[in-house]
Amino acid sequence: MRIGCRQKMKSIIKSFNQQGFAILHGVLASACIEAVKRECEKLVDELATKLLALGRISDTYDDEPFEMRLIRLYENHPSETPTIFRRELHLRGFFELFAHPRLLTIAQAILGPEIRLYPNYSVRPKLPENRRTEVLWHQDAGYTSAEADILRMVNVWLPLVPVNVENGCMEFVPGSHRGGVVPHEKDEYYLRIHDDHIQPVVAQAVTIEINPGDVVIFSNLLFHRGLPNRSDHVRWSVDFRYQDATQPTLRNTQGHLLCSKKHPSNVVRDAVHWAELEFQ
């Protein structure tokens, strides 16, 4: 690794360890983002075809831009809008992102040589003014199990459109990853950190306004939320997690191995192989 790269890597890891997150500007090539967007467009196409076949719409809005089409398709059925795609992501265009060499190098520097894609990878089309997409203050580890603070992970989040406070960017409490898993309670759609733990620190929260090509990595213990979308377009984003593959997932699903010295033949080989696999 060149000296400049080594220094950058050091400052990313320092920020991840101290603040609980690090922003990587311009790390993804536009071809990588475009490949993901094309796959998302195909998922929306499939939904449009289904809605038309069911007689729910009379126009599939093929000419609407990426950040508008879902709004048009569901304008008469707002309670049915998709909020997350997960099982659908075994498509070739996602592989270059999930197995991005620079992201994997960072994950290996933090977690060690054995890296799994944790069985929790998502595309979120966050439609405006939809409470089902407003993700409340939580720690990812709060969703896993009582032993979740043993899981060593690097969470990855990236936008497919520019994100800001208005359209529902992420919000983090720097340093909040240091105290282990705190109590969560069930709200209508999501878990939320108990008020006794979020209220004392909420004023320290920072908003993560970034652009396609940028990525933010963060700890699975960091207090974070996705703000509501108050704009007139869809806030598209992708989130996934790398985990130290020597650990259990603490779920019924096992994810997919992306780097391994111990079991190299089990690593997902390429985009074709990824598309043959399933969410598991």
Ligand X SMILES: O=C(O)CCC(=O)C(=O)O
| Amino acid (1-letter code) at residue 52 | L
Q: Provide the minimum distance between the beta carbon of 156 and ligand X in the complex, in angstroms, as a whole number.
A: 8
| Structural contact between residues 116 and 245, judged by C-beta atoms closer than 8 angstroms | yes
- Coil, strand, or helix at residue 162? coil
Distance CA 38, CA 97 (A): 13
Max intra-chain CA distance, the chain? 60
Q: How many residues bind ligand X (CB under 6 A)?
A: 9
Using the rule CB under 6 A, is 239 a contact of ligand X?
yes
Using the rule CB under 6 A, is 217 a contact of ligand X?
no
Q: Which is nearer to ligand X, 82 or 267 (CB)?
A: 82
Encoded tokens for 277: 């696999």
Closest CA to 208 of 175, 164, 166: 164
Distance CA 21, CA 222 (A): 8
Q: Which is nearer to ligand X, 39 or 239 (CB)?
A: 239
Using the rule CB under 6 A, is 238 a contact of ligand X?
no
Distance CA 141, CA 120 (A): 12
Quick note: the x/- pattern for ligand X over 128-147, rule CB under 6 A, is: -------x----x-------
Using the rule CB under 6 A, is 219 a contact of ligand X?
no
Which residue in 16, 85, 157, 274 binds ligand X (CB under 6 A)?
157
Q: Provide the minimum distance between the beta carbon of 7 and ligand X in the complex, in angstroms, as a whole number.
A: 28
Q: Which residues bind ligand X (CB under 6 A)?
A: 124, 126, 135, 140, 157, 224, 226, 237, 239
